[in-house]
Amino acid sequence: MPKFLIDENLSPLLSNYLRSLNYNAKAVRDIGLKGESDEKIIKWIQKNKRVLITADLDFGEFFYLKSFGQIGAIILKSKSQKLGSFKEIIDYLHKGKILKSKKLENSLVVAIKGKYRIRKYI
């Protein structure tokens, strides 16, 4: 099962929520990377074999255009930036067993409430 890293643009409480669903999850703030560059976070993700969960649309660019190697990222999109809105998206991915998929480690997932799309790294 994939391990997750919650980006700093999302509440660190989201990592607690994922842990309550029995996922291995840490927040960027918990590992001392708060305020660090995206490149540094990506290197940490690669080294520690984590899937990034973020609301930062720029990670789609990193996934497709930059040569940082293979990473897994889940981009959560919500009109509301409240924790509850992101929990609803996580619940949807959890119930659909998307979060347990091994292919997340090399894929980009863009998710909104009740819908997602996944692109495998080429």
- Using alpha carbons, select from 41, 54, 71, 66 the residue that is nearest to residue 15: 54
Q: What is the pLDDT of residues 100-114, one digit of tens each?
A: 998 888 888 999 999
Q: What is the pLDDT of residues 9-61, one digit of tens each?
A: 999 999 999 999 999 999 999 999 999 988 898 889 989 999 999 998 876 66
- Scan for tokens 């980006």, then name that residue: 7
What residues does each domain of the chain span?
3-120
Q: Please give the pLDDT value at position 108.
A: 87
Q: What is the pLDDT of residues 69-92, one digit of tens each?
A: 578 889 999 999 899 999 999 999
Q: Flag whether the pTM goes above 0.95.
A: no
Distances (CA, A) of 27 to 6, 47, 100, 119: 4, 16, 18, 24
